[in-house]
Structure formats: C-alpha cells, structure tokens
Structure 1
Amino acid sequence: MSEIEQFEVPPDPERVMVGLRDTGYEFDTAVADIVDNSIAANATKVQLFLGADFNGNIRLLIADNGEGMDRQGIINAMQYGSKVRPSAASLGKYGLGLKTASTAFCKRLSVISRADGAAPALMATWDLDHVAKVNKWSLLLSETCDEEAVELLDGIAPGKSGTVVLWENVDRLIKDYSYPTGSHAKKALKGKEDALRHHLSMVYQRFLDLKDDRAQNVAIELNGMSVAPWDPFQRDLSELVAEESMITQLEDGHQASFTVRAYILPRREEFPNDKLAQAALLSNNRQGIYIYRENRLIHDADWLGLYQKEPHLTLLRVEFSFDHKLDDAFHLDIMKSQIMLNDDLANWLESQFLPAPRREANRRSREGQQKAISKKGEGAHETSNNNIRNREAAAGGPEVNVADPNSGEAIVNNKYGATRLKLTITSAKRPGEVFVQPVEGITNGLLFQPALIEQHKAVQINTSHPYYHKVYIPNLNRSVTMQGLDSLMWSLAVAELSTVQDSTAEMFRDMRYEVSRILEKLVETLPEPDVDENVG
C-alpha cells in the first residue's frame, strides 16, 4: 500500500485578497459588518466619518469605545478566518467580515486599537498593493498610527480602550468622475451617506432605541449627526395581529427558540400626520418578513420566496427574531444578509402563521383603496359624460319614463313596444354626471346596470368589481381610454333598453350577471395596480 504524502499548500495572497473583493458586498452591508464588531466589543458609542479630501480621496473611519485589542488581539482580528469569539451570540460570525467587507471597497485597510487607556495604540494594516509587491501575507504593524484616527479615538474613548477602522485608497465606492472634487462626485458621496444613515437606523433600531430593552443601548453618529432608530413596524401606531413564540428541535438534538409577530400598519390617511406617514415608508417594497439575529436586522422587506409582493399587502410587516442557535436553519452567508429558510420553517410560516394576517391586511387595504377609488372615480368619468351628452341624440335609443319613483319602475318604449320594468332611478352625484355614474357596489356584484339619471338613459359602473380595479384604475388618468371604456358600458346599457321586452327582461339580467362573472375570471391574472399612483 503506497504511503500518502501531505503537503501544505498556502493560497496565493494577492489572488485571494483580490478575489475576496468580489464577494458581493453592498456598501451599507459592509459598513454594518464593521459596526457589528464594535457592538460585539461592548461599545456604547460608535462614530463614523465618511468624506473626501481636496484631491477627492475618500476616507471612512469607524471609531468605538469598545474593549479594544492588544498586539495579539489586533493580529488575530486582521487574520483571514480569525479565531472564534468566546461568545457564540456575537454579531460577528465567520472571522472574515472586517477584511472582506472593507477590501470590497478599499485597497488599504487599517485597524487602530488599544486595550486600555495606559497602553499606546497600535495600527495594523492590510495594503493590497504591498501584498502584491512582496507576494506574502504581509500584515503591517506599527506604533505610529494615523493622526486623524488617534484623534478620533481619543475623542470617543479618552484615556480608555477603543478601536478605529480606517479605509483608504477607496476605489470602489463611487464612479470615477473626471473632477473628483466636483459637484457630481460630492452629490454621489452625499447619496451614499444618506443611504448609509437609513440602513444603520433600520439595522440597529433595537440598539439605538432607548425605549427598546431587547438590546444594549448604543449611540451611533455619522458625520457628526446622531443616527435615529427607524422602526419598520411603527409599533406605537400599528396593530399586532398575530404573535407566536416557538421552540424547535434542531438536527443536533439542541433546542432553539424564535418569535414571530405580524403587524398591520395604519393606512396613509389614518396616520396622525403626513410626517409620520412618510417616516413609515408606506411603499409596496417595504412589506414582508424582517429577520433579526441577536436583535440585529439581517434581512428585511422580503417574503423569502413564499409569496410575491402585492399592493394589497403593503401594510403587512412580519418580525422574525431568533438567536445564534438557529443560524443553521437560516443558512446564513458570510455577509449575514442572504438567507434561506429550511423547509420546516417555511412550511410553518406559509401554512399556519401567515394566512390570517395576510387576509386581514388584504381586507384593510382593499377597504382603504375602495374609498380612494370611489373618490377619484367620481371625477374620472367627467370627460365621458361630456362626450356622451354631445352624442346622445345621434346615438338614439328608446324613450324611458318614470312610472313609479317609489318602487323604481319605469316604462321603456322601444321598437318592440312598451315594457314596464324595475330600473335604478336616481339623481346625479356630481354636476353633469347623468350618463356614466360610478357607484360602490351593485346587487349581486354586477359590473354594470342600466339606470335612469335625471331622465337620461345611463349606466352605473361598480367600482368594487375586480374589472374596475384591474382595468379602470390603471387608466383613470388616460382620458381617451376612459372614454372608450365608459362608451362601451353606456352603449351596452342603452342597447339592453332598446331591445328589452317583458319576455326577455330576466334574460338580460342573467346576461349582465354572466358578463360580470366572466370578466371577473378573466382579470384574475392581470397585475395589481398601484392604487396610490393611479388614484393619488
């Protein structure tokens, strides 16, 4: 039997470092990975500074007053695949975040840290150009530190332990502008700052909110301004419609717990003021499941493949909180941002927990949308009414007179003779609205019905019918399309009155019912309209 030889094959340092620059980090996610380290080090303050010098060179500094590191600690922190932290509950997970998150955007990463106020700060640096030149895993370590970093460290942790992470040679954050100090570059960098501020306010909401006792309090500043917590659930205003705390058995025999809560936000018009409504970000892309690991948001506004986002569920937001024991059930990636549910959790959410909150959110949304639709629909048919008024004589039709206004009976005189039938007899809700009248609900869910409005042959259109929702709503602001739809409905109603007889009146009612039923089925697969956009 041949002997098996063993070889140690270290990876090429330059190729590994350059390769790890393309792990897919977004800027906000990368910065949050570094803030995770500050919180894991029990920091109570984190300060971030993002800016560019007169030559357009971007620098990012992230300072904290956490436990800090001595010589061995800082070397371990800068090692790719650093040693596991003592606490499994740490926000850091794989020992790669600091390095891969940073070099995804910069070519020179430094960590300046001290374990206590009496010891001098040390600076360790990964310089990708230096690594490429010497072709070694050559970490630079020095007691001579970046002056701005030390000044920042002394400011946030005077005479105490703390750490600063410094990005230099930032080459992947904004586009290469011909004038790096020009207005376009400054605007682009300001956009990055604003997006980062919102990301931090959402990801660390539980840490930033002094009223939230689920996590330690941490004050975060960005460019000298405090980062305020943003609660996606708006718990002071929303209704908690479902809550479950579960203990699940893991494959290794251990148990893990998690909590799921479903909130339904108020409709926009129900918020106390516009400022609060805007703060809630009431847009369709904010619905979904928000997943928290150790009180830190790791994934937001997504149904995790269980459902598609629908406008009727805009108000529904689900909180899923778990600790590190459930990590394997979510298959967390290096960035702690891409996750997949295991089959058991997915089935439980889809079949048991989510159906009831989804139904309730759908009901409330449609209720609010119907009010908006009805309000907008009242004016959307004005052009159609004017057009039909101008062409009413040319279109012709039977003579219709009121027989008994109390019972709603009318006499229709057409080419087949006189027919007495039940007919909706009403007045205009708006001036001139005597030919096409939108109404909220018609008996038996019909889409339309003939009517007599102030002695004019008219049609009432049901704004609650799915056809109106799927076909009319997207076209409320398109005058020609609205006139075409309304003219068709009006002509169907007048054609019925022009040909109805005693013997066919019931068949015409049945026909309207069948047309309404068939159209309801046909529009089922049409996309849901954005009611706020088309009705606002």
Structure 2
Amino acid sequence: MSSLEEIELPPDPERVIVGLRDTGYEFDTAVADIVDNSIAANATKVQLWLAADMRGSIRLMIADNGDGMNRDGLINAMQYGSKARPNAASLGKYGLGLKTASTAFCKRLSVISRATGSAMPLMATWDLYHVAKVNKWSLLLSDDCDIEAIDLLNEVATLHSGTVVLWEKVDRLIKDYVDPAGGPAKKALKAKEEALRHHIAMVYQRFLDPNDDRERNVEIELNGKAVEAWDPFQVKLSELVAQDTIETELPDGRYASFTIRAFILPRREEFPDDKAAAAAMLSNDRQGIYIYRENRLIHGADWLGMYQKEPHLTGLRVEFSFDHKLDDAFHLDIKKSQIILNDDLANWLQREFLPAPRREANRRSREGQQKQISKRGEGAHDTSNNNIRNREAAAGGPRVNIADPNTGEAVVENKHGTTRLKLTITSAKRPGEVFVQPVDGITNGLLFQPALVEGHKAVQINTTHSYYLKVYVPNLNRSVTMQGLDSLMWALCVAELSTVQDITATMFQDMRYEVSRILEKLVETLTEPDVERNVA
C-alpha cells in the first residue's frame, strides 16, 4: 500500500522577505503602488514627504485621510498576500504591493493607521534586520508611533481616520556618496523628487484634474507642493483622429469593454506658445499607447512590441482604457506596470485601428518637416550659387536654349550635336538662386534633375528625398560641406547635358532614377535628424 503524507512547509522568512526585494520595481512605480492604497481607501488628500537628514539618511512618508485601519485591518494589510478587498475595482490588486514596493527600497517599513472613531493610531513594522535575527515572520505592532508620522497624520487627517506609510533605512534609492549629506547626494535626491512628481502627475491625471469627470478628485502634494495633472494627450490642443469602444464576452459569460482613442498633437511650432509646447513634452519617447486600468495609468508610453518608435510619429499618442473585468485577459503583472496583449487584440490593433492614425501622423509630421526645412534652410545654398556663378564660364558646358516654354522643350547643343529635351524651365525663387535650386518634390521621387533657371544651366534638388534629409539637413550651416554637395549635383547635371544624345536621353533619366534609389537605400540606417535643432 502507498501512503500520502501531508507536510506543511513554510518558506524561510529571511530568504523570502529579502528575495522579494528584487521584484524589479522602479522607484516611481513603487511609490504609485502605495498611493493606490490611499485611493482605494477613499482618501481625498495624499501627502508625500521625501527627505534626508544631516547624516544622509533618507525617509519617505506617504500620508492620507482615507478610511484607516483598526488592529485586524492593519495586520491584514501587512500580511504578504493579504485578503482581497471587497471591491474588485480597487486599484490594489494582489495584496503584495505595499510590502514588495516598499522593501524594494528600504529595510524598515512601518504603517501607522487610525481607524474611524479611534483616537489612538497603531503602528505595524516589517524590519528586515529583525526578521533575519529571529528567523520568523515577525511583524512588530505597537501603539508607540513615530512622532513625525503622527504629526503628518494629524495634519492631513485632522480628527479623521487616515494612514501613513513610512520608509526608513532606505538603501536602494540613490548610490552611496562619500558625503551622504553633501551636494551631489542632495542633487540626486532632488532629481528623484522631480521624476516622482511627473510620474504621479501622469499616472493619476484623471484623479488630479478637477475638470475630468471620469474619476473623483484627489489632492496630492509632494514635499509641500501640489502635484498638478499632466495630460499626455493635451486634449484641448490635439486632434482626436480615431476612437472605438469594443465589447467582449468573458469566459464566465459576463461582458466587458475597453475604449481606445488616438490623438495627434500639434507640431512644436504650431503650439500657441513655448510654455504649452514644453508642457506637452514633445519627444520621441512620449509616443505610443498609454494604458489605463480603472482610470489609473499602468503603462506608457510605447507600442507594446508592435512597432519601433519613429521620429515622424512623435505627435501620436493612443489612450487605451479598461476596467478590472479585463485583468485576466490582459495579463496584468504584479506591479500593475504593464500588460501583455493577447494575439487577437494585438492583431486588431495592428491591422484595424492603428494604421490610419499612424499614416496621418506620419503625413502631418513630414508636411510640417518640409515647411521647417524650407523655412530654416533659406539661404543655405546661396554660397554654392555664388561660387558656381563665379566659375560658370570656366566650367564650360553645352549651349541650352528654350524651344517652347509652354511644353518645357529645350535645344541642347553639345559636342555630339543637337538634341531636343524636356527640361524644367523656371525662374529663381530667391535672388541669385539660379544654379542650385531646392524644391519640394520631383516627379518619381528623384533626388536631382537638370533644369534651366532664368536661362542658366541648373540643378534642382529634392528636399523631400531621404538623402537630403539625412545628409544635407545636418550640414545646412556648414558652408564648405554645402558647396561640396551642391557642386557635385550641379556638375552631374551639366555633365549630362554635355554628353546627352537623342539615343541616350532615356538612359540618363534611368541613371538619375537609379542613383536616387541607391542613395535612398544607403541612407536608410543613418539617423534622422532633429530638423529644428539641425537647421536652426
């Protein structure tokens, strides 16, 4: 006969509690996990204080005027894998965030809480040194609370229930400095504070914005200064170009829905002022999908592995909102910081929803980019034009006369005889711009073509070609480089006119097409420049 023995095998306290410090939390994400608990406890005010004393010891306190906890509630909250909240829509999800988020950065976590109708708060503490010493899951409970935490609790929740989360023995926030209270350490801590301020402003935007009726209002302060909501979509200035609400049936027969909206922000020069443009944080790393669970941002901004970030999509930001019913479908992780899309949803996004907004954002960006190149690049070819004018006679070349200005037909006389060609015949767009003329587009996407500009043999250069963008634009302010590039293009066109015959005219056209195509391929891996910076 076989026997079955049931053995209770609790994990080693020190190894587990220390091991759970390495769950991969970023500081901002960890703090947000604690603020989630405040909001779940119906707080209307949350205050955060991040500071270091004269010895460089860092303390973080997060206080709220939420429901607070009695003895049993406090013990449950401090238990790893605490009991689920009755409200499934709560921002807290797994019962681990408070502990794992905190001990990812500190070795002593205390929670001081006062329940409704109670005058006396209680303090519960996980001290990792104590756990290691006694080798037990030993939670310390006391009515002798931290004085500073009590003062903050009384300020935030005067004669009211509330909670303070306190981090002490913070060892993983900033690196060790020779002088832990000196200037470099203070600067590093200040940088953490500013990054945290923006993270909170973005994550809890719908709670912080009094004009956003999707969620109740919560006031949040960091080091005595109110955190103001940051809207990644800048809805008052951007354009909503696509939206959809999708309803789906869950395995248990219930229905749930998610909403998706795509916004295109104005280009920097289209914002009403510099302050508005700065507030929008127009940068390549801000494009992508922003994912909200229960009106709280949990992930943003990227394309969830579906696309790479591209400079021409800087202005495209997509809002994806769902509620707790879809947690399992979206594989929400323990930190509530990312989701994994199932194949059906990823395919729908790539094939049905995102292509049109991406095309439109790309079109607007390139159109705006061309305006910027034209505006900022004015005069960039003047030195080249002057140089060629002074050496036009020495360079030589064929005689080219206009046969029919209406059809663009010209007569070319070179050493091989006389040939009638179709040429672009035009006037100068700027004074003196008669040898090298930048133009916005050439038929068939050619990089360059010969032309007659006010009777002079000239080259037109296509500013929409990727070679111009990636090679010319970074050098618009470099006179010698511009003269070298322009002289080469002009020389190619004059050489074509000097050797062309009726039987070779089509061959020269094909050659220009092939050169343009090859150059387009060769510059594919070159970095696309920031037009505003490079042509300023």
TM-score by length of 1: 0.94
In the TM superposition, what are the counterparts of 1:348-367 in structure 2 within 5 Å? 348-367=348-367
Match of 1:168 in 2: 168
Are residues 1:120 and 2:120 paired? yes
Which region of structure 1 is more displaced relative to structure 2, 165-174 or 466-475? 466-475
CA contact (8 A) 1:287 1:313 kept: yes
Which region of structure 1 is more displaced relative to structure 2, 139-148 or 511-520? 511-520
Q: CA deviation at 1:256?
A: 1.8
In the TM superposition, what are the counterparts of 1:301-380 in structure 2 within 5 Å? 301-380=301-380
CA contact (8 A) 1:49 1:61 kept: yes
Letter in 2 for 1:30: A
Cα offsets for 1:183-213 (capped at 9, x unmatched)? 1111111100100000000000000011111
Q: CA deviation at 1:522?
A: 5.4
Match of 1:103 in 2: 103
CA–CA distance in structure 2, aligned partners of residues 346 and 62 of structure 1: 38
Letter in 2 for 1:413: E
Letter in 2 for 1:78: M
Are residues 1:445 and 2:449 paired? no
Q: CA deviation at 1:328?
A: 1.1
In the TM superposition, what are the counterparts of 1:256-335 in structure 2 within 5 Å? 256-335=256-335
In the TM superposition, what are the counterparts of 1:26-425 in structure 2 within 5 Å? 26-389=26-389, 391-402=391-402, 408-425=408-425
CA contact (8 A) 1:61 1:149 kept: yes
Q: CA deviation at 1:8?
A: 1.3
CA contact (8 A) 1:377 1:438 kept: no
CA–CA distance in structure 2, aligned partners of residues 48 and 507 of structure 1: 73
3-state SS of 2:163 partner? strand
Match of 2:500 in 1: 500
Q: CA deviation at 1:300?
A: 0.4
Change (3 A) 1:30 1:477: farther
Which region of structure 1 is more displaced relative to structure 2, 402-411 or 316-325? 402-411
CA–CA distance in structure 2, aligned partners of residues 442 and 101 of structure 1: 58
TM-score by length of 2: 0.94
CA contact (8 A) 1:378 1:437 kept: no
Match of 1:469 in 2: 469
CA contact (8 A) 1:118 1:159 kept: no
CA–CA distance in structure 2, aligned partners of residues 284 and 53 of structure 1: 38
3-state SS of 2:43 partner? coil
Q: CA deviation at 1:133?
A: 1.3
CA–CA distance in structure 1, aligned partners of residues 394 and 122 of structure 2: 92
Q: CA deviation at 1:11?
A: 1.2
Letter in 2 for 1:315: G
CA contact (8 A) 1:116 1:159 kept: no
Cα offsets for 1:86-134 (capped at 9, x unmatched)? 1111101111111111111111111000102533000111111111111
Q: CA deviation at 1:267?
A: 1.4
3-state SS of 1:330 partner? coil
Which region of structure 1 is more displaced relative to structure 2, 379-388 or 340-349? 379-388
Which region of structure 1 is more displaced relative to structure 2, 138-147 or 435-444? 435-444
Letter in 2 for 1:84: A
Match of 2:22 in 1: 22
Q: CA deviation at 1:382?
A: 3.8
3-state SS of 1:379 partner? coil
CA contact (8 A) 1:373 1:535 kept: yes
Letter in 2 for 1:461: I
3-state SS of 2:327 partner? helix
CA–CA distance in structure 2, aligned partners of residues 106 and 301 of structure 1: 28
Which region of structure 1 is more displaced relative to structure 2, 196-205 or 411-420? 411-420
Are residues 1:8 and 2:17 paired? no
3-state SS of 2:98 partner? helix
3-state SS of 2:340 partner? coil
Letter in 1 for 2:338: Q
Cα offsets for 1:59-80 (capped at 9, x unmatched)? 1110000000001111111111
Question: Would you say how many aligned residue pairs link Structure 1 and Structure 2?
Answer: 536
Q: CA deviation at 1:320?
A: 0.5
CA contact (8 A) 1:56 1:180 kept: yes
CA–CA distance in structure 2, aligned partners of residues 178 and 329 of structure 1: 49
Letter in 1 for 2:342: N
Q: CA deviation at 1:177?
A: 1.0
Cα offsets for 1:358-393 (capped at 9, x unmatched)? 111111111111111222333333444455455545
Letter in 2 for 1:118: S
Letter in 2 for 1:363: R
Letter in 2 for 1:437: Q
CA–CA distance in structure 1, aligned partners of residues 501 and 93 of structure 2: 79
3-state SS of 1:380 partner? coil
CA–CA distance in structure 2, aligned partners of residues 532 and 326 of structure 1: 42
Change (3 A) 1:248 1:479: farther
Q: CA deviation at 1:395?
A: 3.4
